[in-house]
Amino acid sequence: MTRRIALLTSGGDAPGMNAAIRAVVLAAQHYQAEIYGFYHGYNGLLNNEFTLLTQADVQGIIHRGGTILKSARCQEMRDEQGVKQAVNVLLKNKIDALIVIGGDGSFNGLIAISKQWQGQVIGIPGTIDNDIDGTDFTIGFSTAVNTGIEAIDKIRDTADAFDRVFLVELMGRHSGHITFNVGVSCAAEQILSFENFQAKDEKKLLNKIAKQITDAQQKRHSSYLIVIAENLWPGGSQALANNLKQLTGIDCPLCTLGYIQRGGSPVAKDRLLATKMGVAAVQAINNGQSNMMIGEQNNSMLLVALSTAIQHQKQVSQTLVEAQENIFALTEKN
């Protein structure tokens, strides 16, 4: 009897989701299983909105951003009634296993379903935030970092031309992985993230940055770039920009990159990661695994319990944080 596997993409989109969809479909074909793609995340599952995915459907999508299955957030999945409805749809369509590509919210939905359904559930980490435990990287993170670098390099050109100060806000929700990787790669004079900022130090840090900006403008006649994580500064990043202008008398425009970081064609690293994870997800189902997420550590694929993957214990590399601090300390001395 042919096995039926349901597949959906949930939450924020991430470059490489299409590559993962392609890998799942082709791997399923190898194992003689059928893939039922549900549209618009868990909403499509609740509404029984799906299509049978074939090799023809996934040709030419590995390089495309977004997701051909669309995505969405689903408030109903936070309620027991919504979970029961999802389970009923899975039973109605005689689904044997469910694969979800998404982040921690999506995995919470999987865990809820697993408590009321006997089928297998497997998660594939697809989020630009890189805030999922048990895997070195998540699908979309590398592309988001590259997109941030390209944008800030252009901002730096203008900053250097006029010796300007700019404040750039990056996405990440409550994770500093994008901020630190982009900031270090762009040689930002200041990186503000959850790993090196506490609200109680706000006033002291404001005065410190203000002095550095003044020195850069008046003594070195150079640009000054601040990279900040979203949801970090009390009152928002614009409040920081306003405070710095009040202290220095120097304009500090805020550039919020926003959703540009979630779009675009995935870089090679994300295409490769997504392909490996998609294949591994189907293999896990074929091997009888359930309640697991596909992860990669030290270039090796592994299975991580979904309950472990959503703990938010993964931190930005301390080596990266220290590298920025040491480079910045050297700049201050000079």
Q: Which residues are catalytic?
A: 129
Report the distance separating Cα 192 and Cα 234, nearest Å: 12
| Residue whose structure tokens are 């008046």 | 218
| Residue whose structure tokens are 């730096």 | 156
For residue 158, give both structure tokens: 């203008």
Rounded-to-10 torsion of CA 290, 291, 295, 298? -80
Asked if 5 and 95 touch (Cβ cutoff 8 Å), the reply is yes
DSSP per-residue string spanning 86-104: HHHHHHHTT--EEEEEE-H
Asked if 90 and 270 touch (Cβ cutoff 8 Å), the reply is no
Alpha carbon distances (Å) from 63 to 58, 60, 259, 274: 11, 7, 19, 11
Report the distance separating Cα 204 and Cα 290, nearest Å: 50
Q: Residue 301: helix, strand or coil by DSSP? A: strand
